[in-house]
């Protein structure tokens, strides 16, 4: 990319130039913290951006965080400061960082300041830009939608349905399937809702960014997705602000083009972690567990901007890493308070091979209300939770005394709960290449019909294997029939269930 093409963040800033000193000078560099001295006040306000013209490939963008005295500001760098030295000129941009938005960013991958990082063509000179710092829509303009955002994922649509224009998060430790679930939701949005997706890669691995790019391209939805990345190897300032940059892109589609947007963030915990690093670099005293003292306000600043207005909505689905599987961690607990739906991924479910490994008891949604989802859906969700909870209670008895010691009624409840948990597993389209199992998307009515049949005993004749990793109950009956034909004398083994679709051996209850 040519040098003049990388200066878009400086040229795009807004604000009255007469009120901001045009030039300053770098006087101190400490890791990602850069002090800049101006000859005379007034200084650039907190949150405004500076551009450093140095010897690097791109202009270095800084964000003002502190006023040290009447001439000096302390800033946080959005890019690596290696090679930066004192005495280099800096220029105030007259406003916050402004990021490109609009149709031209669809199918593109940007960094925190809006520079393309996908080796594609430069963005148009006249592309609209928006500041990453802005207030949430006024309460008078916000609407409170009660429309369910269907995903085609059985366990989500049944037990933790998402709200169109709402906020949902997936909580889980390492390796339980958060990123896979996010990628499947991107695909589902593009194919089921024909909507626009904005993906924020916040402090995650570069490998995952490459995988996401390839998967979106392969599935044909890249042209309807904008990606903004601040990866794990980037400075804390980039990881701290990239979520706001992605949210700004989503807000443009909502406010200027009046289009529904799905905003996906992976990972909100890394956003908090980057804020803690910045707080430490700026010398602020930490609060609980080493987090920044402004933890609650930083999360609120992000979450409160995700809102619906008349005619368009931003639906947010966030992945939240749970350190050491501790759901009382302040970062995790603070995020919970802003959500409409919470999807909790369970390591125990993953160990049993029950994917998606969503905990049916811990996952919740404000939409599971008969006035919103309907009486039948509400009743089946409650019955599902009650049956699985009873099964979990009986597991201790089974482990100590054996299933033979249970009453006939309890043995029947255990059998139906196990069938139900296997029915709620589902193969994803984004994992087809690795598993060899074709991904399925299931309509809500088919999910409710299958759950109702299992709860009422109409599926007691089905083996557990037949219910594992399928879509509808009809698929399970077809699989069992194929298996029966294959086992019959003279039957063909070609009709048997593929080895990689059979459930993993059960762990001890």
Same fold, 167-339 and 375-501: no
What's residue 396's pLDDT? Answer: 86
Pairs from 215-223 (Cβ < 8 Å, separation ≥ 24): 215/183, 215/187, 215/430, 216/186, 216/187, 219/187, 219/190, 219/191, 219/429, 219/430, 220/190, 221/186, 221/187, 221/190, 221/191, 221/197, 222/107, 223/106, 223/107
The hierarchical CATH code for the domain 167-339 is 3.40.50.300
What's residue 486's pLDDT? Answer: 61
Q: Tell me what the mean pLDDT of segment 359-382 comes to.
A: 96
Q: Which of 5-19, 262-276, 363-377 has the lowest mean pLDDT?
A: 5-19
What's residue 151's pLDDT? Answer: 92
Residues known to be catalytic = 178, 204-205
Per-residue model confidence as pLDDT tens digits over 380-433: 999 999 999 999 999 988 888 888 888 999 999 999 999 999 999 999 988 887
Per-residue model confidence as pLDDT tens digits over 221-267: 788 899 999 999 999 999 999 999 999 999 999 999 999 899 999 89
Q: Tell me what the mean pLDDT of segment 84-113 comes to.
A: 95
Instruction: Tell me what percent of the residues of the chain surpass a pLDDT of 90.
Output: 68
Is the pLDDT at 17 greater than 70? The verdict is no
CATH class of the domain whose range is 375-501: mainly alpha
- Whole-angstrom Cα distance, residue 83 to residue 60? 11
Which helix (H) or strand (E) segment holds residue 408: the answer is: helix 408-423
Q: Which of 118-132, 205-219, 267-281, 485-499 has the lowest mean pLDDT?
A: 485-499
Q: CB under 8 Å to 439, separation ≥6 — which residues? A: 184, 427, 428, 429, 430, 431, 432
Q: Where are the domains of the chain?
A: 3-96, 167-339, 375-501
- Whole-angstrom Cα distance, residue 442 to residue 151? 8
What's residue 488's pLDDT? Answer: 57
Q: Give the pLDDT band (50/70/90) at residue 19.
A: low
Is the pLDDT at 503 greater than 60? The verdict is no
459: nearest Cα among 415, 503, 395, 502: 415
CATH class of the domain whose range is 3-96: mainly beta
Q: Tell me what the mean pLDDT of segment 157-183 comes to.
A: 91
Q: Tell me what the mean pLDDT of segment 149-178 comes to.
A: 93
What's residue 174's pLDDT? Answer: 84
Per-residue model confidence as pLDDT tens digits over 438-469: 989 999 999 999 999 999 999 999 999 999 99
Per-residue model confidence as pLDDT tens digits over 66-80: 999 999 999 999 999
Q: CB under 8 Å to 25, separation ≥6 — which residues? A: 36, 37, 38, 86, 87, 88, 89, 90
Q: Give the pLDDT band (50/70/90) at residue 115.
A: very high
């Amino acid at each position: 990319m040519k040098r003049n093409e990388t200066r878009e963040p400086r040229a795009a800033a807004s604000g009255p130039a007469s009120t901001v000193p045009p030039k300053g000078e770098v006087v101190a560099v400490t890791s990602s913290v850069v002090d800049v001295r101006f000859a005379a006040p007034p200084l650039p306000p907190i949150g405004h951006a500076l551009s450093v013209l140095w010897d690097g490939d791109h202009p270095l963008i800084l964000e003002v965080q502190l006023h040290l005295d009447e001439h000096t500001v302390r800033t946080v760098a959005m890019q690596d400061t290696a090679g930066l030295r004192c005495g280099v000129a800096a220029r105030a941009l007259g406003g916050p960082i402004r990021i490109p938005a609009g149709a031209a960013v669809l199918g593109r991958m940007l960094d925190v300041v809006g520079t393309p990082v996908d080796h594609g063509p430069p963005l148009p000179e006249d592309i609209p830009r928006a500041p990453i710092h802005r207030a949430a829509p006024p309460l008078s303009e916000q609407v409170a939608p009660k429309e369910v955002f269907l995903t085609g994922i059985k366990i989500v649509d049944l037990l933790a349905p998402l709200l169109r224009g709402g906020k949902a998060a997936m909580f889980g430790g390492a390796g339980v399937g958060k990123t896979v679930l996010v990628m499947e939701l991107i695909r589902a949005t593009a194919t089921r809702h024909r909507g626009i997706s904005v993906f924020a890669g916040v402090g995650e691995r570069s490998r995952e960014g490459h995988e996401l790019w390839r998967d979106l391209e392969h599935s044909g939805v890249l042209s309807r997705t904008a990606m903004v990345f601040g990866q794990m190897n980037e400075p804390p300032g980039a990881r701290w602000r990239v979520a706001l940059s992605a949210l700004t892109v989503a807000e443009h589609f909502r406010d200027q083009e009046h289009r529904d947007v799905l905003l996906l963030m992976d990972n909100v915990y890394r956003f908090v972690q980057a804020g803690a690093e910045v707080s430490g670099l700026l010398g602020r005293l930490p609060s609980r567990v080493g987090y920044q003292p402004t933890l609650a306000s930083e999360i609120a600043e992000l979450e409160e901007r995700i809102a619906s207005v008349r005619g368009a909505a931003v639906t947010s689905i966030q992945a939240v890493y749970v350190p050491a599987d501790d759901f009382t961690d302040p970062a995790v607990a603070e995020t919970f308070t802003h959500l409409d739906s919470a999807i909790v991924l369970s390591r125990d479910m993953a160990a049993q091979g029950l994917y998606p490994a969503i905990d049916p008891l811990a996952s919740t949604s404000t939409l599971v209300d008969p006035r919103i989802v309907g009486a039948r859906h509400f009743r089946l969700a409650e019955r599902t939770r009650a049956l699985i909870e009873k099964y979990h209670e009986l597991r201790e008895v089974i482990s100590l005394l054996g299933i033979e010691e249970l009453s006939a009624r309890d043995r029947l409840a255990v059998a139906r709960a196990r069938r139900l948990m296997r029915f709620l597993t589902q193969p994803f389209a984004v994992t087809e290449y690795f598993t060899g199992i074709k991904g399925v998307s299931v309509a809500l009515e088919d999910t409710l019909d299958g759950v109702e049949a299992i709860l009422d005993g109409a599926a007691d004749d089905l083996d557990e294997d037949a219910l594992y990793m399928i879509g509808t109950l009809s698929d399970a009956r077809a699989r069992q029939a194929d298996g029966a034909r294959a086992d019959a004398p003279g039957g063909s083994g070609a009709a048997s269930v593929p080895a990689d679709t059979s459930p993993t051996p059960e762990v001890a209850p």
